[in-house]
Chain A
Amino acid sequence: KQEVTQIPAALSVPEGENLVLNCSFTDSAIYNLQWFRQDPGKGLTSLLLIQSSQREQTSGRLNASLDKSSGRSTLYIAASQPGDSATYLCAVRNQGGKLIFGQGTELSVKP
Chain B
Amino acid sequence: NAGVTQTPKFQVLKTGQSMTLQCAQDMNHNSMYWYRQDPGMGLRLIYYSASEGTTDKGEVPNGYNVSRLNKREFSLRLESAAPSQTSVYFCASSRKENTEAFFGQGTRLTVV
Contacts and interface: CB of A to CB of B under 8 A. Distances in A.
Contact of B45 (A34, A43, A98, A103): A98
Contacts of A103: 40-42
Interface of B is mostly: strand
B103 interface: yes
Contacts of A93: 97-98, 101
B74 to A, nearest CB: 14
B43 interface: yes
Contacts of B31: 97
Interface string A13-26: 00000000000000
Interface size class of A (residues with CB under 8 A): 20 to 34
Contacts, number: 61
B98 A31 contact: yes
A64 B45 CA distance: 24
Interface size class of B (residues with CB under 8 A): 20 to 34
Interface of B: 31, 33, 35, 40-45, 48, 50, 56, 58-59, 90, 92, 94, 97-106
13 contacts: A31-B97, A43-B90, A46-B100, A46-B101, A49-B99, A49-B100, A89-B42, A89-B43, A97-B50, A97-B97, A99-B45, A99-B48, A103-B42
* Max chain B Cβ within 10 angstroms of own Cβ: one of A49, A51, A101, A103: A101
Interface of A: 31-32, 34, 36, 42-46, 49, 51, 89, 91, 93, 96-104
Contact of A100 (B41, B45, B50): B45
Nearest to A104: B42
A42 B37 CA distance: 12
A53 to B, nearest CB: 11
Given A98-B48, A101-B43, A43 B105 contact: yes
A91 B35 CA distance: 12
A89 B101 CA distance: 13
A49 B41 CA distance: 23
Contacts of B42: 89, 101-104
